[in-house]
Amino acid sequence: MMEGNMWLNDAIGVVPKNSWAIDPFGYSSTMAYILRRMGFENMLIQRTHYELKKELALQKNLEYVWRQSWDAEETTDIFVHMMPFYSYDVPHTCGPEPAVCCQFDFARMRGFVYELCPWQEHPVETNQENVNERALKLLDQYKKKSTLYRTNTLLVPLGDDFRYISIDEAEAQFRNYQLLFDYINSNPSLNAEAKFGTLEDYFLTLREEADRINYSRPGEVGSGQVGGFPSLSGDFFTYADRQQDYWSGYYVSRPFFKAVDRVLEHTLRATEMMMAFLLGYCQRASCEKLPIGFSYKLTSARRNLALFQHHDGVTGTAKDHVVEDYGTRMHTSLQDLQIFMSKAIEVLLGIRHEKSDQNPAQFEPAQVRSKYDAQLVHKAISAHEGTTQSVVLFNPLEQTRDEVVMVIVDRPDVTVLDSNWTCVKSQLSPELQHDKSKIFTGRHRVHWKASVPPLGLQVYYIANGFVGCEKSKPATLRIFTKEKHLTCPAPYLCSRLEADTAVIRNQHQTLTFSVNLGLLQTISRDDGSQNVFGEELGMYSSSESGAYLFKPNGDSEPIVQAGGQLVVSEGPLMQEVYSYPKTAWDKTPISHSTRVYNGDNTVQEFIIEKEYHIELLGRDFNDREVIVRYKTDVDNKRIFYTDLNGFQMSRRETYDKIPLQGNYYPMPSLAYMQGPNGHRFSVHSRQSLGVASLKNGWLEVMLDRRLSSDDGRGLGQGVMDNRPMNVIFHILVESNISSTANPVSNPRPLSPSLLSHRAGAHLNYPLHTFIAKKPQEISVQPPPRSFSALASSLPCDLHIVNFKVPRASKYSSQQPTEESRFVLILQRWHWDSSYCRKGRAECSSVADESINLFDMFKGLAVLNARATSLNLLHEDTELLGYTEQGDVAQEGHVLISPMEIQAYKLEVRPHQ
């Protein structure tokens, strides 16, 4: 939106104030918040549940002020017009009777390309003979529609998908309506005035009327922003348009590309930051060549990501060839961004001194995709005897990051060294794959605990034959298989799993699995508590589901049978259970790993990592939707919480009165449930999926769906282009340390704990790993190299949304500019303080006190800081609803309230 709003301003001098969103399937309150903080004043929405429209229309509440659930100051209020009927086409916009309204869609007259009215009464040309009868008929619809709203100002949109394709068509609509309007306006007895106008005209007229006439109801909670309307909070999921058809299928359709979307998003963010550092630390034209030369590709990446946010893009509801186009664009941009980052890290580490872009990069990303719809593959480091290969890690978060990291090697006899050439303890485990006949790939995973400074780079070395350091310690393997014996790969010690259960553990939790089924059964925690877990893999059969709709034929059926293959690997840093389960199909559609990590001061030591590999390929899986269901002993009374855009949580409750599919909700990145005893069970995801709690203590997440039929909502095809894919969850089981509101009786959304926020950030903003293309001789030991942009870690609840140069192509340090060229966007999390305050993982501080922008960066002076809107186009912060900041430009101090996102324009210069 920032990219689009700035383009509008640059290209045609327009700063938008009104949002028009008639076709997203349900609406998130996060959108209302972001629009408000961008300086928007009004919103128009259409696709909300038909029963909800009925209820709001009954109370004349279809126009309201949307307020965020945490807002006690009315600073987030934005005015909303909800359209009242089934659709946004002409038959459903002039009034309540589509058969009548269709007669006033003059593009459906014979001679045009559009379908005729299905009600068999067709539009006719308006003339002096019929204008009286036609105008009264139209006005009757307008009057009926107006009874659903409070004011005397009525909005009647005139259009549809793929309309106004010719001058003749536009002329037909205009000519006929102008005759009708002229007739209405020239008859005072009709007591009406009709005219063409823009959305801006409508909202201006309505607000003027609301200023003159008080439309408030007795006892109604309104808003100081615009009088006469109620204030509402919450979101509009899950959408149904008719006959209990719930649009919860699109939460999961095309999950492969939902995952690519997020990879592009976090890679773009990291690249924006690196570009800002290159320009910030550079004061000569020569070192500006690399970033400025890349700027057009950066703009292209922003736009390719923005394009996929279309309501038929990330939703997975486009035709196959359109999905391919989206995918290809995102893949191209990802490759561009990674090439730039590979060169940027050389400059920031002081390796690349010639300031030209011509030389190829010495580094390459550790994970690459061969084509737009292929899975990520790890590049292997081939460490020959006597050589070493560099690994560079970039931490895109604002705190120092201690984390167990992994690269793939071809040979097992390796050692890990840090940038000072000091030995680092490491672990070797076999690489595994989804192939019953060959689970071991022959390559190896090396894990070690890395420490990377905030917004910084750290170098490690993978060496072969380095004297004085112990080699990577091989994990011990325990294997269970009913089929032919699995060959033990070298150099590991293997034994057969004879027991009924298998256990992996770290210092905080012990996980117990059923060996026969390969599924997690219980979690025992360090405080002595034990949680039933009951993992189940299941499938819904769904003959009527499509890209939009989820319409299962009954409940899901478990698919795992006794007697699959299980590999348990145990080492000092990571323990893992890999399960290739037996199912009714010869090539099972799903395999999965469960991992726990040992690493002091890491977020990882508190989470359980689940990785599911899914292949819904071939006709065997037509009209099937695969889920994982966690059957816990959390007494949540079927109440749970899901995030909205990764920004805020919404309370969800399962109702018997609506069908199963209506109890599914979007889960962009987090869902959790909590019992009255404070036990909380959270699932963090790095991609959008759908989630439900159909029985007490249950949380289920849909992973993929394959559907042979169209569901009649305009796509005209099924969803059969499934790709092999991985879904990663980080599961967190927490107990509160002080009493908390009972979720059953508390209608307000609960917030994640500080640890939960950090777990989500680590999952969604992973370390970026680059490896040297060529090995070096061990005898050549380069000097220690690292980089950090921040003077110190930021408080644990303060998140840098981005640090960027929005118009990098126009940047030049040689020409003085009035405009601040850098932008810093900060977000302060709201967290549930009844859970451990320190986030359990070494949180030194939280943002209760102001931070100073002037001394935030290392080696950079910040000048001329001032608050701006989230689209960078407004500087009147009062207008935007921000709390009073004082003079940021003079003092640099900013204090951000929990839940707020704030943007600042800055100028930065290297310290002289």
Tell me which residues are annotated as active site.
23
Q: How many CB atoms sit inside 10 A of residue 852's CB?
A: 14
Q: Cα dihedral angle (296, 297, 299, 305), rounded to 10 degrees?
A: 160
- Residue 296 structure tokens: 């057009």
Give me the DSSP letters along 80-125. Answer: EEE--SS-SSGGGTSSS-HHHHGGG-GGGSBTBSSPPPTTS-----
CA distance to 135, 245, 539, 698, per residue, from 704 (Å): 52, 20, 10, 19
Per-residue three-class SS string for 198-243 = CHHHHHHHHHHHHHHCCCCCCCCCCCCCCCCCCEECCCCCCCECCC
CB 435 within 8 A of CB 768: no
- Residue 398 structure tokens: 């604002």
- 692 CB-contact burial (10 Å; exposed 0-12 / middle 13-18 / buried 19+): buried
Main-chain phi, psi angles of 331, to 5 degrees:
-65, -45
- State the Cα–Cα distance between residues 681 and 736, nearest whole angstrom: 11
> Can the peptide bond before residue 238 be classed as cis, meaning omega within 30 degrees of 0?
yes
- 217 CB-contact burial (10 Å; exposed 0-12 / middle 13-18 / buried 19+): middle
Of the candidates 764, 762, 790, 797, the residue with the CA atom closest to the CA atom of residue 403? 762
- State the Cα–Cα distance between residues 672 and 684, nearest whole angstrom: 9
What one-letter code names the amino acid at 510? T
Of the candidates 808, 868, 809, 818, the residue with the CA atom closest to the CA atom of residue 277? 808
The residue behind tokens 């307000």 is 748
CA distance to 151, 805, 911, per residue, from 283 (Å): 59, 15, 11
Per-residue three-class SS string for 818-886 = CCCCEEEEEEECCCCCCCCCCCCCCCCCCCCCCEEHHHCECCEEEEEEEEECCCCCCCCHHHHCCCCCC
- State the Cα–Cα distance between residues 158 and 194, nearest whole angstrom: 13
Give me the DSSP letters along 309-347. Answer: TSTTTTTS-S-HHHHHHHHHHHHHHHHHHHHHHHHHHHH
Distance of CA 696 to the CA centre of its chain: 27
The residue behind tokens 């759908």 is 690
- State the Cα–Cα distance between residues 266 and 777, nearest whole angstrom: 34
- State the Cα–Cα distance between residues 641 and 898, nearest whole angstrom: 19
Q: How many CB atoms sit inside 10 A of residue 178's CB?
A: 14
- State the Cα–Cα distance between residues 149 and 634, nearest whole angstrom: 44
Phi-psi region of 468 (alpha: psi -120 to 50; beta: other; left: phi over 0): left
> Can the peptide bond before residue 396 be classed as cis, meaning omega within 30 degrees of 0?
no
Give me the DSSP letters along 633-693. Answer: ----TTEEEEEETTTEEEEEE--TTS-GGGG-EEESSEEEEE-TT--EEEEEESS-EEEE-
- Residue 791 structure tokens: 């003077």
Of the candidates 683, 677, 717, the residue with the CA atom closest to the CA atom of residue 703? 683
